[in-house]
Amino acid sequence: MGKEIKIARYRNTPYTVNFTTNGGMKTYKWTGVKGKKADIKPIPEEVVDWLLMNSICFREGELKIIEDTEEAKQAVENIDDKEAYENNSHSKEEVISALEGNFNKMKSVLNKVTNKDEKKFIIDVAKEIKLDSNAKLKFLAEWYGIKQDILFSEE
């Protein structure tokens, strides 16, 4: 087996990759974020290359490459829509920082998000940290496309 690249799942839902090899099927599973801990797994470089060519999981932010090696940095360079990848794959800490930071900076970051699952993840984080800025909650509701009183109602 060749080199491995660390791949993270920053969203709070599971994700599975089934990779066909000459010996059958190899399954890689991420459980998603638990508390503040992202699920990070090293997978073979050939699987990452296959995902880059045959999947939109990186562009859509479903998985994120941890850029801690030259191979990982090269893999990121090979993503066909790097801008979408950057805009749709935020860690929980990055989301919290954006939500708790300056309102205009938050709007700037969030307006670049195009993936519905990433938007749902951001809303879930806002609920988890009990974001209490009415202006930010109003913006989030409009951005997500659901009325604020429904989106942020007490369950």
Asked if 95 and 121 count as a contact pair (C-beta separation under 8 A), the reply is: yes
What was the pLDDT predicted at 64?
Answer: 96
Distance between CA 129 and CA 85 in Å, rounded? 25
Task: Examine the pLDDT at 1 and tell me if it is beyond 60.
Answer: no
Q: Is 64 exposed, middle or buried (0-12, 13-18, 19+ CB in 10 A)?
A: buried
Predicted structure pTM score: 0.88
The token duo for 9 is 């799942």
DSSP-derived pairing of the beta strands 64-65 and 4-9: antiparallel
Share of the chain above pLDDT 70, in %: 98
pLDDT digits (tens, 9 = 90+) for 111-136: 999 999 999 999 999 999 999 999 99
Render pLDDT for 39-65 as a digit per residue (tens, 0 to 9): 999 999 999 999 999 999 999 999 999
Classify burial at 13, counting beta carbons within 10 Å of its beta carbon; exposed 0-12, middle 13-18, buried 19 or more.
middle
Dmax (CA) of the chain: 55
pLDDT (average), residues 3-11:
95
Q: What is the pLDDT of residue 2?
A: 75
